[in-house]
Structure 1
Amino acid sequence: MFEAGDIREWRGHDVVDPRGHKIGSLEAVYVDTATDEPFFATVTVGLPTRRRLVFVPLTGATVGPGYLKVVHPKDLVRKAPTIETDGELPATDEPEVFAHYDLEYTTGAGGERRLGRR
């Protein structure tokens, strides 16, 4: 896995699926608050007048020249939970993001949120 600081430098670069199909552009990185490791990314998708951010897991992702390749297909990512381009993921919506990718969701020991934007 790559460091969170490294992946932030990729903001605005293409995010592609395993077959190389462009999903959108990398907008932000969300880390697992328990480990401070990159866990999800938000990807800008949609038409210029109707942009939104979708969430995609970074587990298994790799970087290449000018792109970030994720392990999930474009169709699945585009159907993921979204937020507005200037929005924020509410803690109450985190379980839905995890469920979309069949990932187990648990809060922190004190009930705190699982994802933090970096």
Structure 2
Amino acid sequence: MFEVEDIREWRGHDVVDHERHKIGVLEAVYVDTATDAPAFATVTVGLPTRHRLVFVPLTGATVGPGYLKVVYGKKQVKDAPSIDTDGELLAEAEKAVFAHYELAYRTGAGGERRLARR
């Protein structure tokens, strides 16, 4: 895995799936609030007049020359929960993001959110 500071440098680069098919462009990184480790990225997808941001886990992701490769397929990522390009992930929507990728979801001990944008 890579450090959060390093992945910020990749904003604007292509995000590709495990078969190197372009999914979209890296927009932001979300960290796990318990560990401050990179957990998800938002990827800009859609038509030029209808962009949206989809979420993809960073577990197992690697970087290459000019791209970030995730371990999930293009279709699964494009079908993931999304927000508007100027929107934000609501606390009550986090569980759906994890569920889409069949990942366990737990809030913090005090019920706090699991993801924070960096």
TM-score interval (norm. to shorter) = over 0.9
Match of 1:80 in 2: 80
Match of 2:98 in 1: 98
Measured against aligned partners, the alpha-carbon deviations of 1:54-88 in whole angstroms (never above 9, x if no partner) come to 00000000000000000000000000000000000
Q: Aligned letter for 1:23?
A: I
Shift of 1:42: 0.1
Match of 2:13 in 1: 13
* Root-mean-square deviation (Å): 0.3
Shift of 1:101: 0.1
TM-score of the two chains, using structure 2 as the length reference: 1.00
Shift of 1:111: 0.2
Match of 1:24 in 2: 24
Count how many residue pairs are aligned between Structure 1 and Structure 2.
118
Unaligned 5+ runs, structure 1: none
* Overall identity of the aligned pairs, in %: 78
Shift of 1:31: 0.2
Match of 1:41 in 2: 41
Shift of 1:20: 0.5
Match of 1:61 in 2: 61
Q: Distance in 1 between matches of 2:28 and 2:86?
A: 11
Q: Distance in 2 between matches of 1:95 and 1:71?
A: 20
3-state SS, counterpart of residue 41 of structure 1 = strand
Unaligned 5+ runs, structure 2: none
Match of 1:116 in 2: 116
